[in-house]
Homo-oligomer: A and B are copies of this chain.
């Protein structure tokens, strides 16, 4: 690295007003903050999990399934509807999560065609370890930024999610 120290700082030849508009736009963006935090958090959380090689690793997409699972079990079709993706896609995710012994499929007693998808009775450490890890990670972050802020974050995100979901599905 032999650059002469002027790594940044001055704008070469751009209109100051234009520059200011950009600065403003960048600074104001809650969205940008959100994106960046989400990416970093996801990366660091996943990196914490020791993943046994060979069997399919847990991937970001898998986590999106959990919040839509009823504890009594949920049908594939219903899951697909909630996630807004095809049932084949869900099927694949569930296949993998089943291999990891995180989820299990049991026959639906009330319908011979259907199966209920639910958390595995004897999760192969993957699930509970993973969740415990995540919890611990979140606690650490809570300490880092302060409990009140963490609570405020939780609250605000919950509200934001509702607002966003209302937009994407104005009907359902």
Query: Which of these, B23, B44, B64, B149, contacts A155 with CB under 8 Å?
Result: B149
Which of A15, A39, A121, A146 gathers most chain B CB within 10 Å?
A39
List residues of chain B with CB within 8 A of the CB of A28.
Answer: 135, 138
The answer to whether B34 and A66 touch across the interface, beta carbons within 8 angstroms, is: no
The answer to whether B33 and A63 touch across the interface, beta carbons within 8 angstroms, is: no
Given A63-B35, A72-B11, A152-B156 contact (CB < 8 Å): yes
| Complex CA–CA separation, A34 to B38 (angstroms) | 6
The secondary structure that dominates the A interface is helix
Given A152-B152, A163-B144, A41-B32 contact (CB < 8 Å): no
List residues of chain B with CB within 8 A of the CB of A36.
Answer: 64, 67, 161
List residues of chain B with CB within 8 A of the CB of A41.
Answer: 31, 34-35, 160, 164
| Complex CA–CA separation, A146 to B134 (angstroms) | 29
Q: Is A159 an interface residue (CB 8 A)?
A: yes
Query: In the assembled complex, how far is the CB of residue A160 from the closest CB belonging to chain B, in whole angstroms?
Result: 5
- Report A32-72 residues with CB < 8 Å from chain B CB: 32-45, 60, 63-64, 66-67, 70-72
The answer to whether A44 and B164 touch across the interface, beta carbons within 8 angstroms, is: yes
The answer to whether A154 and B30 touch across the interface, beta carbons within 8 angstroms, is: yes
The answer to whether A153 and B30 touch across the interface, beta carbons within 8 angstroms, is: yes
Query: Which of these, B71, B144, B158, contacts A19 with CB under 8 Å?
Result: B71
Query: In the assembled complex, how far is the CB of residue A80 from the closest CB belonging to chain B, in whole angstroms?
Result: 15
Residue in B closest to A146 when the chains form the complex, CB atoms? B159
